[in-house]
């Protein structure tokens, strides 16, 4: 039977959704349409060249895997790009696209061959008899020292990292523990050290692993009776980078096996680099003997970057993505998003995507609108109760009715709106939203969200209600 392109793409989307952030999904995948499927080639239409490049740069591995899964090894993906024929020169951002004949081709299909070899070995420690380890270091080449902007906020950690990279295992900084809040650059810096070591000492075996992955590998090893192989594998590493060690907290057996690996590596002069969201003194659920070892070397923190550093980070990012923005927009972003570099980058990306999608130029107004949404959506979470209260106040209804089972029309609508905002603005499950709103099940909530979405597209009064409510909820 011939496969339907829409169905194939829907299947792909379902997997993509589970593998990318909600923001990323919304920004980069929702605007895509599937257009045809011929000879195992699925063609998707993307809104602009920029979209295509972004997808290729950031999601190519995922897309390859998914297409292969859906369409078999023959499967390929082609992009059809909606022509940006009204690119006027007033557009303040430019994308440096290397293709010289970009205007000459209509809907240039860009194909992505899928004939890549097998993916690297997942669990190298199950391969017996490996002598010289030839493993994938799992390092992200984009997270280099070159791309890491130095500032007061990261100076100590950065220079300690640099020192370690120059003499792995040979400085007093062993282990080097980098700690700090979310999105402040711990993972980036950890990769940078690994990359630098790889380039200075190509023979050293460097391994980056998240503590989550480490834990899962360990659990598998226990299941498969291969704990010895697991430990041996890790004991052969020259530079072990473990990200987010706070994840080990409360996991006694994992801590135990890590303790032994740590000791072995440390005694044999190997370098250990750890990251964590807290300094050792504040770590909970961690064995004392492990904590005391974390303190042997150097703990260096990453702080919230200053305004200048935030601007510099944005500029660096823009430079490497080939984007230009007016100064006031850059400053506005840096002023508005203060505590998290990842969010800062996220805002920049959304802004570019928005502008590319709507073919609007990026100016301060667009930035303001976007930031209003972006910062509020990510930084705060309102409660379902609060949403119900705001909705009831707005429509002047008693809240008890909304929580009751009544099917009176205006109550049903208010209830649906409350459900819609609860889904949009909280992390609650559909089931728990339903339970809060008159003891409904998850299907009812889903239906409510769809109804609200449909109405908002077709009914302008209804849309106004939502906008008003959204405003009230966001200044909570
Ligand atoms: P963490 O691991 O602390 O949560 P990440 O290392 O994932 O944070 O950083 C979040 C994002 O911010 C990454 O894209 C990273 O490249 C970027 N970033 C953080 N600090 C810097 C910096 N000093 N210079 C450039 N980019 C940075
Ligand atoms: Mg991280």
Judge if 363 and 438 occupy the same domain.
Answer: no
Give the three-class secondary structure for 129.
coil
Domain boundary pick from 361, 380, 399:
380
Domain boundary pick from 302, 328, 347:
302
Judge if 173 and 258 occupy the same domain.
Answer: yes
- Report the CATH number that the domain containing residue 345 is assigned in CATH: 1.10.8.60
Higher pLDDT residue, 271 or 457?
271
Query: Is the pLDDT confidence value at 445 over 90?
Result: yes
Query: Is the pLDDT confidence value at 380 over 60?
Result: no
Specify the pLDDT at position 475. Answer: 58
Q: How confident is the model at residue 89 (pLDDT cuts 50, 70, 90)?
A: very low
Specify the pLDDT at position 86. Answer: 38
Is residue 338 one of the residues assigned to a domain? Answer: yes
Judge if 283 and 328 occupy the same domain.
Answer: no
Domain boundary pick from 267, 302, 337:
302
User: What is the atom index within ligand 1 of the atom nearest the CA of 149?
Assistant: 24
User: With pLDDT > 70 as the criterion, what percentage of the chain qualifies?
Assistant: 86
Domain count, the chain: 4
Judge if 222 and 358 occupy the same domain.
Answer: no
Specify the pLDDT at position 97. Answer: 33
Judge if 314 and 452 occupy the same domain.
Answer: no
Judge if 270 and 342 occupy the same domain.
Answer: no
Specify the pLDDT at position 133. Answer: 54
Specify the pLDDT at position 124. Answer: 42
Is residue 146 one of the residues assigned to a domain? Answer: no
The range of the structural domain enclosing residue 28 comes to 5-98
Contact criterion met (CB below 8 Å) for 332 and 365: no
- Report the CATH number that the domain containing residue 92 is assigned in CATH: 3.30.300.180
Residue 175 preceded by cis peptide, ω within 30: yes
Average pLDDT across the chain, whole number:
84
Query: Is the pLDDT confidence value at 131 over 80?
Result: no
Predicted confidence (pLDDT) per residue in 319-364, tens digit: 888 888 898 899 888 888 888 899 899 889 888 888 888 777 888 8
User: For residue 357, with 0-12 CB atoms within 10 Å meaning exposed, 13-18 middle and 19 or more buried, which class applies?
Assistant: middle
User: For residue 374, with 0-12 CB atoms within 10 Å meaning exposed, 13-18 middle and 19 or more buried, which class applies?
Assistant: buried
Judge if 358 and 466 occupy the same domain.
Answer: no
Specify the pLDDT at position 419. Answer: 95
Is residue 337 one of the residues assigned to a domain? Answer: yes
The CA 338 to ligand 1 mean position distance, Å, reads 13
Judge if 367 and 408 occupy the same domain.
Answer: no
3-state percent helix, strand, coil for the chain, nearest multiple of 5: 55, 10, 35
Closest by alpha carbon to 157, among 183, 188, 199?
A: 188
Contact criterion met (CB below 8 Å) for 78 and 110: yes
* Range of weakest confidence among 48-62, 128-142, 203-217: 128-142
- Containing 418, the helix (H) or strand (E) segment is helix 409-425
Predicted confidence (pLDDT) per residue in 303-319, tens digit: 999 989 999 999 999 98
Q: How confident is the model at residue 52 (pLDDT cuts 50, 70, 90)?
A: confident
When mean pLDDT is compared over 83-87, 105-109, 433-437, the highest value belongs to: 433-437
The CA 184 to ligand 2 mean position distance, Å, reads 8
Contact criterion met (CB below 8 Å) for 356 and 50: yes
User: With pLDDT > 90 as the criterion, what percentage of the chain qualifies?
Assistant: 51
Is residue 190 one of the residues assigned to a domain? Answer: yes
State if residue 157 touches ligand 1 by the CB under 6 angstroms criterion. Answer: no
Predicted confidence (pLDDT) per residue in 179-213, tens digit: 999 999 999 999 999 999 999 999 999 999 999 99
Ligand nearest to the CA of 185: 1
Q: Where are the beta strands (DSSP E) in 227-270?
A: 239-243
* Adjacency order of strands within the sheet including 33-38: 33-38, 41-46, 76-81, 110-112
Give the other-Cβ count within 10 Å of 458's Cβ. Answer: 9
Angle CA(121)–CA(124)–CA(126) in degrees, nearest 5? 115
Neighbours of ion ligand 2 (CB under 5 A): 186-187
State if residue 158 touches ligand 1 by the CB under 6 angstroms criterion. Answer: no
End-to-end CA separation in angstroms for the chain: 53
Judge if 293 and 191 occupy the same domain.
Answer: yes
Specify the pLDDT at position 360. Answer: 79
Is residue 123 one of the residues assigned to a domain? Answer: no
Is residue 145 one of the residues assigned to a domain? Answer: no
Judge if 234 and 316 occupy the same domain.
Answer: no
Ligand nearest to the CA of 346: 1
When mean pLDDT is compared over 28-37, 132-141, 274-283, 436-445, the highest value belongs to: 274-283
Specify the pLDDT at position 469. Answer: 92
- Report the CATH number that the domain containing residue 434 is assigned in CATH: 1.10.1750.10
State if residue 185 touches ligand 1 by the CB under 6 angstroms criterion. Answer: yes
Judge if 83 and 68 occupy the same domain.
Answer: yes
Specify the pLDDT at position 83. Answer: 60
- pTM of the shown model: 0.61
User: What is the atom index within ligand 1 of the atom nearest the CA of 147?
Assistant: 25
Backbone angles phi, psi at 309, to 5 degrees: -65, -40
**Residue of minimum CA distance from atom 26 in ligand 1:** 148
Higher pLDDT residue, 286 or 410?
286
Contact criterion met (CB below 8 Å) for 156 and 301: yes
How far, in Å, are 26, 310, 368, 448 from residue 332 at the CA level? 23, 11, 8, 37
Tokens coding 108: 């240039």
Is residue 343 one of the residues assigned to a domain? Answer: yes
State if residue 154 touches ligand 1 by the CB under 6 angstroms criterion. Answer: yes
Judge if 453 and 363 occupy the same domain.
Answer: no
Alpha helices in 112-251 (DSSP H): 155-166, 186-200, 211-223, 227-235
- Report the CATH number that the domain containing residue 186 is assigned in CATH: 3.40.50.300
Is residue 122 one of the residues assigned to a domain? Answer: no
Query: Is the pLDDT confidence value at 296 over 60?
Result: yes
Query: Is the pLDDT confidence value at 60 over 60?
Result: yes
């Amino acid at each position: 039977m011939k496969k339907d392109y829409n169905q194939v793409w829907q299947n792909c989307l379902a997997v993509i959704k589970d593998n990318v952030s909600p923001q990323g999904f919304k920004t980069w995948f929702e605007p895509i349409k599937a257009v045809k499927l011929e000879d195992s080639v699925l063609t998707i239409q993307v809104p602009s060249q920029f979209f295509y490049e972004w997808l290729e740069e950031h999601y190519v591995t995922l897309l390859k895997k998914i297409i292969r899964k859906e369409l078999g090894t023959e499967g390929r993906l082609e992009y059809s790009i909606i022509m940006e024929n009204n690119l006027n020169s007033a557009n303040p951002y430019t994308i440096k696209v290397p293709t010289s004949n970009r205007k000459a081709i209509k809907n240039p299909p860009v194909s992505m061959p899928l004939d890549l070899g097998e993916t690297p070995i997942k669990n190298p420690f199950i391969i017996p008899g490996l002598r010289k380890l030839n493993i994938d270091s799992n390092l992200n080449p984009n997270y280099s020292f070159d791309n890491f902007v130095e500032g007061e906020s990261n100076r100590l950690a950065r220079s300690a990292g640099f020192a370690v990279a120059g003499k792995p295992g040979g400085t007093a900084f062993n282990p080097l523990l980098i700690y700090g809040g979310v999105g402040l650059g711990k993972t980036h810096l950890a990769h940078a050290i690994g990359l630098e070591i790889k380039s200075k000492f190509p023979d050293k075996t460097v391994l980056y692993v998240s503590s989550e992955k480490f834990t899962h590998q360990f659990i598998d090893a226990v299941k498969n009776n291969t704990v010895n192989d697991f430990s041996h594998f890790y004991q052969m590493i020259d530079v072990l980078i473990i990200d987010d060690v706070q994840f080990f907290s409360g996991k006694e057996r994992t801590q135990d096996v890590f303790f032994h690996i740590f000791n072995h590596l440390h005694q044999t002069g190997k370098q250990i680099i750890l990251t964590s969201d807290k300094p050792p003194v504040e770590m909970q659920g961690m064995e004392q003997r492990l904590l005391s070892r974390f303190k042997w070397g150097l703990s260096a923190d990453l702080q919230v970057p200053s305004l200048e550093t935030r601007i510099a980070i944005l500029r660096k990012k823009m430079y490497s993505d080939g984007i230009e923005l007016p100064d006031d927009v850059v400053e506005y972003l840096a002023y508005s998003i203060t505590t998290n570099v990842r969010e800062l980058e996220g805002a920049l990306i959304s802004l570019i995507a928005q502008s590319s999608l709507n073919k609007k130029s990026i100016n301060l107004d667009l930035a303001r609108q976007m930031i209003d949404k972006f910062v509020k959506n990510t930084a705060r979470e309102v409660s379902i109760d609060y949403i119900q209260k705001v909705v009831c106040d707005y429509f002047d209804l008693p809240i008890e009715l909304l929580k009751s089972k009544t099917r009176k029309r205006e109550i049903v609508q208010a209830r649906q709106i409350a459900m819609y905002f609860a889904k949009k603005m909280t992390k609650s499950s559909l089931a728990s939203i339903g339970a809060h709103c008159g003891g409904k099940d998850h299907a009812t909530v889903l239906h409510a969200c769809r109804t609200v979405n449909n109405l908002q597209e077709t009914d302008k009064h209804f849309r106004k209600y939502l906008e008003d409510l959204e405003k009230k909820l966001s200044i909570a």
